[in-house]
Amino acid sequence: MQPCKFTFDDTPALDGFAYGSKWNGFDNVAVTPEELEKIIAYFKDSEETVEDLESIKVGDDGLVCLGWGFTTTIVETEA
């Protein structure tokens, strides 16, 4: 997996890792548990989204998979 920046629709760019695949046209990404906490804080007013995010287990690689279910889009960063 490659490091990347991604968004959920109109969120600020977040740090993640790209799987290099897509689900329903959205990029599959993973994040660190620390980045997940930032995402949960951003969505604090959406109880259902927070519950969905909090239910995801940390994988054997130490990352939290947001792929195959969340509407994430990898964004280009300035070099």
pLDDT tens digit string along 6-41? 999 888 999 999 999 999 999 999 999 999 999 999
How far from chain centre, in Å, is Cα 17? 8
3-state secondary structure of 20: strand
- What's the rounded mean pLDDT across residues 67-71? 88
Crossing angle of the two packed helices 47-54 and 33-42, in degrees rounded to 10: 170
pLDDT digits (tens, 9 = 90+) for 37-68: 999 999 999 999 999 999 999 999 999 999 98
pTM, to two decimals: 0.86
pLDDT recorded at residue 79: 53
Residue given tokens 């890792």 in the structure block: 17
